[in-house]
Structure 1
Amino acid sequence: MEARSLLRRIFDDVVVALICFVGVLLLPILITFPRARQWLFVRVLVLAGWLWRDSFQDVRRDMMTALDDIESRDPELRADGAVRVLEVGAGFGANFTVMRRKVKYWNVDPNTEFQSAFLDTLKNYPKVEMERWVPGYGEDMHQVPDDHFDVVLITHLLCSVDCAEKVLQECRRVLVKGGRLLFMEHVAQPKGSLGRLLQWLLTPVWRIICCGCCLNRDSGDAIRSAGFAEVHMKETRVAVPGILTRHVYGYAVA
């Protein structure tokens, strides 16, 4: 069993090395054409989903329990047992698989390459009612009203934004008082570790391949210092390539 686990870790790391190699070969195109970066990132996520989606499911389910016990501030939604949720950067809609209640749903995402597959995924989850897709970035959600959402959901987002602090400020703005930010983020390995050095070395290329994703970002620290009234955060390690294993997840209260 240990030998099989070791072989799987080696395989995972070889896949990451191949992704980086392809990224280096395509570097001039990716630097010149932003749409090419979006196109490649979507394909990398398809591969990652095929290889490692199940590895995240236990963490997703645990994170999503914070959605199950919250009551909406909207009387009509509360009477219906529903909540209003904004997800920032939903990708293909992986979080729908662990949503167990009625949801009025918004998505903010700048990458329109996801939209077709996202909408196809949405059809499989009748409890999730799409209210609006907002094309845009988490740092500036001016199209999204203040104090409007019971829950804001972010997974694997803060690693790739230009300014995590601005994104979290916007999340607080759009949440109702007492609303929750649910999060799951991969974070930097501990300071002084070989893993952190490897993250630091790979990040310049990885950022270009994966639309800004920084392997060495301490997103947990950003959440703790974002001004939420409460932060409930757990740390875990996920069975994915070594540069991405360390995760924090949980919820923060506005």
Structure 2
Amino acid sequence: MTFVMRCCVLVVNVLCMPLHLIDAVGLYNTLYRRFFFPYFLNQCSASYNKKMEDKKKELFRSLTEFSKPGGQLTILEIGCGTGTNFEFYPPGSKVICTDPNPQFMKYLKKGMEENEHLTYDQFVVASGEDMGSVGDETVDVVVVTLVLCSVKNIPQTLREAHRILRPGGGFFFMEHVVADPSTWLYFFQHVLQPAWYYSGDGCQLTCATWKHVEAAGFSDLKLSHVEAPLMALLKPHIIGYAVK
């Protein structure tokens, strides 16, 4: 990080001091995370789906490759949020939903009602780093979309995904990532990160997530870097899937 970037980040951190204080006394968790963020994400997710529909269809077209012969495809989605991925899952799939925020449940129920082609097994309130209530090697597919940017420990989340996948199972991902260091976008992602953290409930603009996926120990990895048709800060994306 250059000297100029450090100075700019410091200025933004100073401007965010009221937010830091609100978080320190617990009001951020009580007010924003519980009441406003689920509504905000519900609106943003619908817009994201419209813009990324073709990419999602292309990615999730490969889900059926991981079905057991003559069996049902069991999908576990980490950070399911409002269930905006459900429409892209193959008919007859069984879905296990996890999210650390139980306030998403009312939006999730609506998503379930609109996607009757799926069977919903359970909703587990858990972080991606600790899904101990889900057994080892019990699912065919794990899905994360716009989730690894906000978990506290990406490698641990990937270890959990690897643990619960059966041998030969698939890990599907679609995540925004940090831009190339030679670009102005990289500069602004770092400078605006302190403020973005609060608007996105812990979301990080500066994650080189692909490095963690590459190091996660999967036997096969199909990963692409793409430019998403979104606001500049979120344009850099990685999309793909890996095989356990």
Give me the TM-score of the superposition, normalised by structure 1.
0.84
Structure-2 residue corresponding to 1:29: 22
| Structure 2: distance between partners of 1:26 and 1:91 | 27
How far apart are 1:25 and its partner, in Å? Answer: 9.6
Q: Which amino acid aligns with 2:30?
A: R
Work out the CA distance in 2 between the residues paired with 1:48 and 1:131.
26
1:101-180 correspondence to structure 2 within 5 Å: 101-180=91-170
2:36 pairs with 1:46: no
Mind listing any 5+ residue stretches in structure 2 that lack a counterpart?
1-11
Query: Aligned pair in 2 of structure 1 residues 35, 103: CA closer, same or farther (>3 Å)?
Result: farther
Query: Aligned residue for 1:225?
Result: 215
How big is the shift at 1:221? 1.2
- Aligned to 1:239, the other structure's residue is in SS state coil
Structure 2 distance, partners of 1:253, 1:95, is 20
Question: 1:72-83 maps to which residues of 2 (within 5 A)?
Answer: 72=68, 78-80=69-71, 82-83=72-73
Structure 1 position 41, deviation (Å) = 2.3
1:187-209 residue CA offsets vs partner (Å, 9 max, x unmatched): 00111211011110111121122
The equivalent residue for 2:55 is: 59
Cα gap change, 1:61 to 1:26, in 2 (>3 Å): farther
* Contact persistence 1:203–1:215 (CA under 8 A): yes
The structure-2 alpha-carbon separation of the partners of 1:104 and 1:51, relative to structure 1 and needing over 3 Å to count, comes to: closer
Kindly provide the CA deviation profile for residues 111-136 of structure 1, in whole angstroms up to 9, marking residues without a partner as x: 11211111111112122111111111
Can you give the 5+ residue segments of structure 1 that lack an aligned partner in the other structure?
A: 1-19, 73-77
Question: Matches of 1:71 and 1:132 in 2, distance apart?
Answer: 19
**Whole-Å separation in 2 of the counterparts to 1:25 and 1:68:** 48
| Counterparts of 1:146 and 1:51, CA distance in 2 | 35
Measured on the aligned residues, the alpha-carbon RMSD in Å equals 1.9
Three-state SS of the structure 1 residue aligned to 2:174 is strand
Q: Please name the residue that 2:239 is paired with.
A: 249
Match of 1:5? none
TM-score after normalising by structure 2: 0.87
Structure 2 distance, partners of 1:47, 1:150, is 30
Summarize the Cα distance change of 1:70–1:226 in structure 2 as closer, same or farther, 3 Å threshold: same
Amino acid at match of 1:36: L
- Are residues 241 and 148 of structure 1, via their aligned partners in 2, closer, same or farther at CA, if it must alter by over 3 Å? same
Please identify, of 202-211 and 236-245, the stretch whose mean Cα deviation from structure 2 is larger: 202-211
Number of residues of Structure 1 aligned to a counterpart in Structure 2: 227
2:144, 2:174 within 8 Å by CA — same for their partners in 1?
A: yes
SS in structure 2 opposite 1:123? helix
Distance 1:97 1:167 in 2: 24
Q: Is contact 1:64-1:99 (8 Å) kept?
A: yes
SS of residue in 1 equivalent to 2:192: helix
What is aligned with 2:76? 86
Distance 1:237 1:214 in 2: 18
User: Contact conserved, 1:66 with 1:182, CA < 8 A, in 2?
Assistant: no
CA contact (8 A) 1:30 1:36 kept: no
CA–CA distance in structure 1, aligned partners of residues 46 and 91 of structure 2: 26
